[in-house]
Amino acid sequence: MWAELRDLREEIDVGTPPRNGVEVALTIDGLAVQVPSGSSIMLAAAKAGQSVPKLCATDTLEPFGSCRVCLVEIEGRKGFPASCTTLVEEGMVVKTQSDDLQKLRKGVLELYLSDFPEQDIEGGWSEFHETLKQCGVTSHPYRKGDNHQDAPVDESNPYFLFDPAKCIVCSRCVRACEEIQGTFALTISGRGFESQVAAGENHSFFESECVSCGACVQTCPTQALVEKSLFEGGYQRG
């Protein structure tokens, strides 16, 4: 099943892991599609060739539903559920694009940008920047307030660094450490504005139980976690 999905859209992240089950028929943006029961709407949309914007979702990890970028509309239901955590149902009719969805996604992404290094917004090359382009978001309307832009970069690990100014607390690194590597070295500490990725209690990445497997770096959508080898002469924001 995994190979079939990969053959369908080569090198496209379908957002959530494939499932095995009885085929379920539904409609995505007017397109008929069939996927196994237990699949997410996001995966069904990918199979239909409709790309749903996402940040916390990736097909190597179980769905989490925290970023609120992948919202969709379902005929007959109220609200805008996350497509990564909402499972398909027989006969379901889904919209992945509408004026309301565009406004909601724009508002969410603008909030992320309000606490992201301004000099790194234009010309960025991360998955986050691709999502911004997909949703047509290039700036935010908020005045400068409390932020994490002065948080120190953790360069203690010899292979990669962590720049908390670029972290959107999507938990992908924490989940990759748990689900892929099984190390449980990372966690999210604090609540609300104080939430942050932590490598143990008051530990640097080098001092923590991190085994430098690279799973967290590979899955980070904003390149808050990034290989040092990409930066000749040392890392600098911007």
- The string of pLDDT tens digits covering residues 66-84 is 999 999 999 999 999 999 9
Q: Is residue 165 part of a domain?
A: yes
Mean pLDDT of 178-197: 94
Does residue 37 contact residue 44 with C-beta atoms inside 8 Å? no
Round the average pLDDT of the chain to a whole number and report it.
Answer: 93
Does residue 72 contact residue 95 with C-beta atoms inside 8 Å? yes
pLDDT tens figures, 97-111: 999 999 999 999 999
Q: Is residue 124 part of a domain?
A: no
pLDDT tens figures, 152-170: 999 999 999 999 999 999 9
Number of folded domains that form the chain: 1
Q: Is residue 184 part of a domain?
A: yes
Q: Is residue 217 part of a domain?
A: yes
**pLDDT exceeds cutoff 90 at 186:** yes
pLDDT at 12: 82
Q: Is residue 13 part of a domain?
A: no
Q: Which of 27, 48, 42 is nearest to 90 (CA)?
A: 27
Q: Is residue 189 part of a domain?
A: yes
Q: Is residue 81 part of a domain?
A: no
First-to-final CA distance of the chain: 41
Q: Is residue 30 part of a domain?
A: no
**Letter string b/e over residues 131-160, b meaning 16 or more CB atoms within 10 A of that residue's CB:** bbeebebeebeeeeeeebeeeeebbbbeeb
- Which spans in 81-126 are helix H? 99-113
Which residue segment(s) compose the domain that 200 sits in?
160-230
**pLDDT exceeds cutoff 50 at 2:** no
User: CATH no. for residue 216?
Assistant: 3.30.70.20
CA distance 26 to 24: 7
pLDDT tens figures, 20-56: 999 999 999 999 999 999 999 999 999 999 999 999 9
